[in-house]
Amino acid sequence: MVKQKKTGLKLRDKKQAVTLEGTSRGAGLKFAIVVARFNEFVTQQLESGALEALAAAGVTAEDVCVVKVPGAFEIPFAARQAAERGRFAAVICLGCLIRGATAHFEYIASAASQGIMDASLATGVPMTFGVLTTNSREEAMERAVPGPENKGWEAAVAAVEMATLDVRGAMGATGAMVRVRKGTEKRKLNVSAQRSGRAGRGAAAKGAAKRNGVSGPHERSGRAGRGAPARKK
């Protein structure tokens, strides 16, 4: 098994599938965090969780840009603008929506999730969804506790993994290695055939010599001598 560190590429024998996965280390990569100010008592905690997760992944503070927007509805626009700059390996989207008495909750939640997905697909930059959609303040706070259970932390971890997942490059490397392996096998077959051919020609020559009564260099020399004209005295 050959493992490519950068992309998490694992090459196995041809009877097994090729597994591609990102890594948990984001050192040297730049990330944008788009945070909605609406329900700030929750989104501040999500932001803190995301920053802690990035630091744990080896991302330095100067490689992180935090973008503040009014609410979850505005997240997709800011996320797309950040991605189009071409500086960021991934964008982390954080917000909090708490269900109220009207259908406003459903409209904003749908627009935010769809908008973030569309922005990611349009730019080709991974964007992770850390927008809470809860029924109460208590549910929201439960998902913004410090540590790995914080949804901001989870979104940041997912962003690092997606930023280090290079499917195109990994598949290209896989194809190259397969071609090399096939080429090596072909060369081995050619060498084997050449050796087999030489061995066959050698056996045929020995057989012909035996039929002619010649079994070695001395006998061939003697036969040549017998065939030469005798010297005159």
User: Which residues are CB-neighbours of 112 under 8 A, at least 6 positions away?
Assistant: 72, 73, 75, 76, 93, 95, 97, 131
Distance CA 175, CA 71 (A): 45
Q: Work out the number of other CB atoms within 10 angstroms of the CB of residue 203.
A: 10
Interatomic CA distance for residues 107 and 211, integer angstroms: 97
Tell me which of 87, 104, 186, 188 is the catalytic residue: 104
- DSSP SS3 for 16: coil
CB 125 within 8 Å of CB 90: yes
| Residue 218 annotated to the active site | no
- Under DSSP, is residue 19 helix (H, G, I), strand (E, B) or coil? strand
Q: Is 153 exposed, middle or buried (0-12, 13-18, 19+ CB in 10 A)?
A: buried
Q: Which residues contact 6 (CB under 8 A, 6 or more apart)?
A: 23, 164, 166
User: Can you give the length of the chain in residues?
Assistant: 233
What are the percentages of helix, strand and coil residues in the chain, rounded to 5? 55, 15, 30
Tokens 């061995």, residue located: 199
Q: Which of the residues are catalytic?
A: 104
